[in-house]
DNA sequence: GTTAACGGTGCAACCGGTTGTACAACCGCG
DNA sequence: CGCGGTTGTACAACCGGTTGCACCGTTAAC
């Protein structure tokens, strides 16, 4: 009574139906120039007739490729999902790969167990390439990938670039982003700047601050730099601290748009108007930026494009391209908070 | 200057090193009873020696399995990620599969293009099984899967069960969940109940309401049932509507914990105390439930366990098990809002 | 001493494609 | 007519494993 499981038609059946050999059938379907147009037509008709689709397993073995790319993430799934940064980046990868025949596989590597499983899959050559979304120095998995010679793309700058000649790298220029934000403040004539940044040990934070300083110099004194978390609550709290100090300031550079949202709330509560009294610039061009009142001027990190780029580099490396380092450019998004 | 890409050792090399044939080597590594203990030891040693790991492609072809399971999602990635429901469910699947040698692949099917790509992968037999996270009636992909005879698990109840004899199903008993929530209200002596639910066309909402009604009868009049979105803002707004009506009520059943959070805020603003004046019960046991003041009594849907179950059923079906239907049970989580 | 039973191993086929090479048929040319 | 060159096809090997079956040597039973 159960559905008879039709076993899938093989190339041999197509060949038989078209009255040619298996090899000719294969070449015809792959559009080889050595096959006559007439034969191709016949084979294609036969293939359509029996509903032939080449089997992934057979093909993978023959061509030496699985057509699968692993996306390696260090964060646990829940964190990964809640962070819109990742979400957009992953979408970029997925989007780009969906134009090819490649399939992305999200491979977690937060626990030791997961890392072992990942390693095993690498050794089995389950993937043609790996995109490491959050590479860190000294990762044993990177060492394995290097030894195995698996094409790998690192998304994020590793200080010292220990693998520059083996792995490709894609990252956004955070210093440039800081540059843009600070320049906007300067152009607006703001002279007394406060910075509310993310965690101090975050490399992006360090680079952005360097960008701020290069432009603002003494207009951003050390005492005005606050490190905190990435959320609006953190921004709110930090701004209250600043206000309590009763120092003069006319601009706030924020490490994320969520921080900026909290900062604006705190400013408003203190009776300060944005942007009349104080200019605020965010970072990320998160969805929240457009919902702020006033709409937030911010720096956009091209996450989706970074995903596209990473995917394309991976595909190129599979085809044998040399490792490359690509820097993506930040962009100032002008809105009303400046 | 580039790292010499060591080509991976094959079974043939192991066999040669151990002084046996390929077939013996294979059987030894797979612990076949037909091979003597001594030979096994020798082969294992040789395998370790040359760092042998069986190639995934070769193995896949030989055993007729890719050891990959597709997790089919209809929602776009961003929505998928922002919904904690999915996140936990997916974690459950991933967790369970990581105990096996199987690999989950998230396969989006929101756009037509994506559906076509998915279909293609199905036809190529890229996956040994499919777990459909949000199946809907009349999905053409389900039709394809049925025709191809791919083992499939549906997560969610399809009205009319058009594929009951072909596909397995796992779902949580929403009616039972409604039952539990309503019973808690009743036990507490609440007699005039209001329900703030999710969208009216959502099957889970329908089932939960049925559960409420079975217990409460006239204590939950039609006029007191409000359909809205899933967020706290929706709950807040809905509660304001109720309050504006100036009807008497002493209990609120909510369609989600986020709704409940909004409801509690609105009640407090109106000077009503929870649970002294009004009891509130949520749904989902979302993280927010513990952060509410007072902590929210809610109904827990065993999402993670559902994921485990779906994964296990998929694995069983790959091994040839018949399709099954599994109902997961809801659970009342007692906290302080009742 | 022949034979049956049995444990251990190897040969070869197989999974389902791709691809190097040989070969046959045909062409025009000297 | 024979030659070289082109075109289209088929044979067979190959990718890297697994597995049915034949075979071998040993031992026990008759």
Identify the CA nearest to B100 among candidates B78, B131, B53, B68. B68
Say yes or no for a CB contact (<8 Å) between B98 and A117: yes
List phi, psi (to 5°) of B334. Answer: -80, 125
> DSSP assignment, residue B107?
E
Is it the case that residue A3 has pLDDT exceeding 60? no
Select the residue of A54, A59, A77 nearest B94 (Cβ to Cβ).
A77
pLDDT one-digit tens code per residue, A180-218: 999 999 999 999 999 999 999 888 899 999 999 999 999
What is the model's pLDDT at position B162? Answer: 79
Of A61, A78, A124, the CB nearest to B54: A124
pLDDT by residue (tens digit) across B188-222?
Answer: 999 999 999 999 988 889 999 999 999 999 999 99
Whether A10 CB is under 7 Å from strand C = yes
- Chain B residues with CB-CB distance to A5 below 8 A: 149
Nearest to A308 by CA among A97, A83, A103, A72: A97
Q: How confident is the model at residue B329 (pLDDT cuts 50, 70, 90)?
A: very high
Residue B91 to residue A113, Cβ atoms within 8 A: no
CA distance A317 to chain B (A): 13
Res B57 pLDDT > 50 = yes
Question: How far lies B59's CA from each of A133, B10, B63, B102, in Å?
Answer: 29, 11, 6, 13
CA-wise closest residue to A303 among A288, A283, A320, A289: A283
Of residues A286 and A81, the one with the higher pLDDT is A286
- pLDDT for the residue B300: 96
Residue B34 is given by DSSP the state T
- From the number of C-beta atoms within 10 Å of its C-beta (0-12, 13-18, 19+), residue A260 rates as buried
**Strand D footprint, Cβ within 7 Å:** A 19-24, 27, 34-39, 61-62, 64; B 7-8, 10-12, 22-23, 26-27, 29-30, 52, 54-55, 57-59, 61-63
Contact A113 B121 (CB under 8 A): no
Q: How are beta strands A331-333 and B103-108 bridged, if at all?
A: unpaired
Q: CA at A122, C1' at C18: how many angstroms apart?
A: 24
Question: What pLDDT does residue B168 have?
Answer: 96
CA atom of B21 to C1′ atom of D15, Å: 19
Name the average pLDDT for chain A: 92
Shortest CA distance to B93 belongs to which of B110, B115, B109, B70? B70
Does residue B1 have a pLDDT over 60? no
Q: Give residue B100's Cα distance to chain centre.
A: 18
Q: CB of A33 within 8 A of CB of A80? A: no
Cα–Cα distance between A204 and A15 in angstroms, integer? 57
Contact in structure between B256 and B229 (CB atoms under 8 Å) = no
Over residues A295-336, the pLDDT tens digits come to 999 999 999 999 999 999 999 999 999 999 999 999 999 999
Residue A138 has pLDDT above 90, yes or no: no
- Closest residue of A to B145, CA-based? A5
Distance CA A239, CA A231 (A): 13
Nucleotide nearest to A27 (CA to C1'): C18
Which residue of chain A is at minimal alpha-carbon distance from B127? A56
Q: Is the CB of B20 under 7 A from strand C?
A: yes
The residue among B118, B57, B15 whose CA lies nearest residue A121 is: B57
Strand D nucleotides, any atom under 7 Å from protein beta carbons: they are 7-20
Report, in ranges, which bases of strand C sit under 7 Å from a protein C-beta.
7-12, 14-20
**pLDDT, mean of residues B167-196:** 96
Pairing of strands B279-281, A152-155: unpaired
DSSP string, A53-114: ---HHHHHHHHT---EEEEEE-S-HHHHHH-HHHHHHHHHHHHHHTTSS-EEEEEE-SSHHH
Looking at chain B, which residue has its C-alpha nearest residue A149? B5
Distance in Å, residue B338 CA to nucleotide D3 C1': 101
Q: Could you tell me the end-to-end alpha-carbon distance of chain A, in angstroms, rounded to an integer?
A: 70
Instruction: Please give the Cα distance from B257 to B198 (Å, whole number).
Output: 11
User: Each residue of A218-251: pLDDT tens digit?
Assistant: 999 999 999 999 888 899 999 999 999 999 999 9
Residue B6 has pLDDT above 90, yes or no: no
Q: Do B53 and A124 touch (CB under 8 A)?
A: yes
Residue A63 contacts residue A54 (beta carbons within 8 Å): no
Can you tell me the distance from the alpha carbon of A89 to that of B97, in angstroms, rounded to the nearest whole number? 25
Least Cα separation, residue B244 to chain A (angstroms): 28
Between residue 62 and residue 101 of chain A, the positions with Cβ below 7 Å from nucleic chain C are 62-63
In this predicted structure, what is the pLDDT of residue B82?
Answer: 67
Calculate what percentage of chain B has a pLDDT beyond 70: 98
Distance CA A329, CA A239 (A): 29
Q: What is the Cα Rg of chain B in Å?
A: 26
Contact A307, A91 (CB under 8 A): yes
Neighbouring residues of A97: CB distance < 8 A, sequence distance ≥ 6: A69, A103, A104, A311, A315
Chain A residues close to B113, C-beta within 8 Å:
98
Residue B210, number of CB atoms within 10 A of its CB: 13
Residue A195 CA, distance from chain mean position: 26
- Residue A283 DSSP label: S
Residues 6+ apart with CB under 8 A from B88: A78, B303, B304, B307
Residue B337's pLDDT band (boundaries 50, 70, 90)? very high
B2 pLDDT tier (thresholds 50, 70, 90): very low
Residue A318 has what pLDDT? Answer: 96
Written as one string, the DSSP assignment of B115-147 is HHHHHHHHHTT--SEEEESS--TT-HHHHHHHH
Question: Beta strand pairing status for A68-73 and A103-108?
Answer: parallel
């Amino acid at each position: 009574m159960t559905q008879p499981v039709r076993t899938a038609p093989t190339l041999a059946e197509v060949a038989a139906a078209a009255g040619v050999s298996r090899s000719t059938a294969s070449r015809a379907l792959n559009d080889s120039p050595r096959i006559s147009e007439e034969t191709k037509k016949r084979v294609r008709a036969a293939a359509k007739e029996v509903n032939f689709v080449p089997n992934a397993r057979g093909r993978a073995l023959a061509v030496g490729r699985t057509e699968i790319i692993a996306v390696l993430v260090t964060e646990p799934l829940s964190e990964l999902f809640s962070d819109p940064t990742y979400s957009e980046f992953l979408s970029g990868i997925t989007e780009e790969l969906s134009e090819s025949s490649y399939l992305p596989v999200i491979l977690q590597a937060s626990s030791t167990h997961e890392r072992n499983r990942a390693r095993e899959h690498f050794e089995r050559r389950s993937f043609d390439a790996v995109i490491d979304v959050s590479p860190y120095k000294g990762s044993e998995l990177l060492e394995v990938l290097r030894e195995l010679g698996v094409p790998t793309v690192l998304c994020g700058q590793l200080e010292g670039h220990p693998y520059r000649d083996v792995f490709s790298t894609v990252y956004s220029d955070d210093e440039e982003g800081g540059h843009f934000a600070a320049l906007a403040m300067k152009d607006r004539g703001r002279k007394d700047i406060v910075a509310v940044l993310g965690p101090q040990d975050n490399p992006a934070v360090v680079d952005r601050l360097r960008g701020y300083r290069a432009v603002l110099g003494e207009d951003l004194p050390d005492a005005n730099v606050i490190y905190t978390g990435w959320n609006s609550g953190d921004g709110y709290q930090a701004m209250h601290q600043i206000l309590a100090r009763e120092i003069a300031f006319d601009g706030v550079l924020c490490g994320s748009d969520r921080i900026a949202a909290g900062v604006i709330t705190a400013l408003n509560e203190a009776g300060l108007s944005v942007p009349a009294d104080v200019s605020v610039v965010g970072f990320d061009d998160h969805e929240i930026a457009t919902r702020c009142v006033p709409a937030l001027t911010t720096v956009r990190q091209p996450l989706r494009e970074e995903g596209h780029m990473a995917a394309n580099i991976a595909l190129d490396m599979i085809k044998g391209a040399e490792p490359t380092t690509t820097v993506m450019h930040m962009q100032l998004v002008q809105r009303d908070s400046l």
